[in-house]
């Protein structure tokens, strides 16, 4: 049973419109009570539903690759003997790519090979052992889904309206997610009684369906949760990035509001996140206690336009960060060293990033 905590009224209406831009437009009706889907033993394989929410706007059409076998190990790249150039280290592992919020979900090797479509949904996330993937859907049947790493054995584990940003607990037993909710709002001198919109972060136990709310900042608007290996949950709040756990209380890491999409390094020592700088978004890293903020990307002086960088995802070994950038016009997938050096395109594939705290990328072994 859900354990709800009262969250005070939010004063920042502009933040709501920014955070919900690009999502499906739904009438502000009370959200149905979450219902655990009682599932039979796992079937052999189920095909994912065909219908998906319409993508926001994709700059270029994304070709659907020919079906391939499961991703293979990344090849070793060596330099020619007569060039005298040292070989570039090649990232390893598998990366999930969301083409748009609610659009196709692909998997690709970290060297850019083996691109294959898995399903469609919102904000895919790897389980800690890399064997399963969680995501949500807003089209019917809506809710929280889990499938195997190759896209097989698709299961809906929770009936939940307007959920997004699924993230696994370190032990793989629970999944947290953000979701929209409405609570009664008393009348004031400026408005009649009605309903107030909130965004909560809840977690469901995959074994018994136990649903619990995370303690979040007092304004009750929490987005883009990321559950780290130290059992701390980072998220974007109204007043900046926060960390919390089920015991609470939440703690703000940095003063300021213009941060988004925190992502934990595997060891839980650092967070990569988006930072609004003037008229565009850059990427930065901070220590787990909020100290040591360091920018990783910057628009070059005299650039004809501001360059946006977003949706960071750490490599499992902590050496690299994958991200999306519009430096080429279309949004492309890039990778860089964890200190911001050697930024290069991972693969020539266009995606849509709509600045709605979406998780476009996720990286596993």
Query: What are the domain boundaries of the chain?
Result: 88-183+194-364
What is the pLDDT confidence band of residue 20, given thresholds at 50, 70 and 90? very low
User: Across-strand partners of 254?
Assistant: none
Contact 160, 136 (CB under 8 A): yes
> What span, in angstroms and rounded, lies between the C-alpha atoms of 272 and 287?
9
How far apart, in whole angstroms, are the C-alpha atoms of residue 86 and residue 12? 52
Residue 365 to residue 149: CA distance in whole angstroms: 11
**pLDDT digit string, tens, across residues 290-315:** 999 999 999 888 889 999 999 999 99
Q: Are 342 and 296 within 8 A, CB to CB?
A: no
| Model pTM score | 0.76
Report the CATH architecture of 88-183+194-364. Answer: 6 Propeller (2.120)
- pLDDT tens digits, one per residue of 194-247: 888 889 999 999 999 999 999 998 778 899 999 999 999 999 998 899 999 999
pLDDT in tens, 142-198: 999 999 999 999 999 999 999 999 999 999 999 999 999 887 888 888 888 888 888
CB 273 within 8 A of CB 264: no
Instruction: Note the pLDDT of residue 86.
Output: 53
Residues in CB range of 254: below 8 A, 6 or more apart = 240, 241, 286, 290, 293
DSSP string, 65-94: PPP--SPPPPPP----TTT-PPPPP---SE
If you search the block for the tokens 């390893």, which residue do you land on?
92
Tell me the mean pLDDT in the region 319-326: 98
Q: Mean pLDDT over residues 23-27, rounded? A: 37
């Amino acid at each position: 049973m859900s354990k709800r905590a009262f969250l005070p009224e939010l004063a920042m209406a502009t933040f709501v419109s920014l955070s919900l831009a690009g999502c499906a437009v739904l009438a502000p009706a009370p959200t149905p009570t979450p219902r655990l889907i009682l599932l039979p033993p796992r079937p052999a394989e189920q095909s994912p539903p065909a219908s998906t929410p319409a993508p926001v706007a994709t700059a270029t059409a994304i070709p659907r690759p020919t079906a391939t076998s499961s991703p293979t190990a990344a090849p070793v790249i060596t330099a020619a003997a007569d060039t005298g150039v040292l070989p570039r280290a090649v990232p390893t592992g598998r990366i999930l790519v969301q083409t748009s919020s609610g659009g196709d979900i692909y998997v690709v090797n970290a060297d850019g090979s083996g691109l294959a479509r898995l399903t469609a949904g919102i904000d895919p996330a790897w389980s800690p052992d890399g064997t399963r993937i969680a995501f949500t859907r807003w089209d019917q049947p809506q809710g929280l889904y889990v499938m195997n790493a190759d896209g097989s054995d698709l299961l809906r584990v929770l009936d939940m309206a307007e959920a997004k940003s699924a993230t696994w607990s370190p032990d793989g037993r629970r999944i947290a997610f953000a979701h929209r909710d409405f609570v009664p709002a008393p009348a004031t001198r400026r408005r009649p009684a009605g309903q107030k919109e909130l965004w909560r972060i809840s977690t469901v136990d995959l074994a018994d369906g136990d649903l619990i709310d995370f303690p979040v900042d007092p304004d009750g608007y929490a987005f883009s949760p990321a559950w780290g290996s130290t059992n701390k949950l980072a998220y974007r709040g109204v007043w900046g990035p926060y960390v919390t756990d089920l015991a609470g209380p939440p703690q703000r890491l940095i003063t300021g509001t213009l941060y988004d999409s925190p992502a934990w390094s595997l060891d839980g020592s650092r967070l990569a996140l988006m930072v609004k700088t003037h008229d565009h978004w850059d990427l930065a890293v901070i220590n787990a206690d909020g100290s040591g903020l360091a920018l990783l990307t910057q628009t070059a002086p005299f650039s004809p336009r501001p360059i946006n960088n977003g949706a960071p995802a750490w490599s499992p070994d902590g050496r690299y960060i994958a991200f999306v950038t519009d430096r080429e016009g279309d949004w492309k997938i890039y990778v860089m060293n964890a200190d911001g050096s050697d930024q290069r395109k991972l693969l020539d594939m266009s995606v849509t990033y709509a600045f709605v705290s979406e998780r476009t990328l996720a990286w596993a072994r």
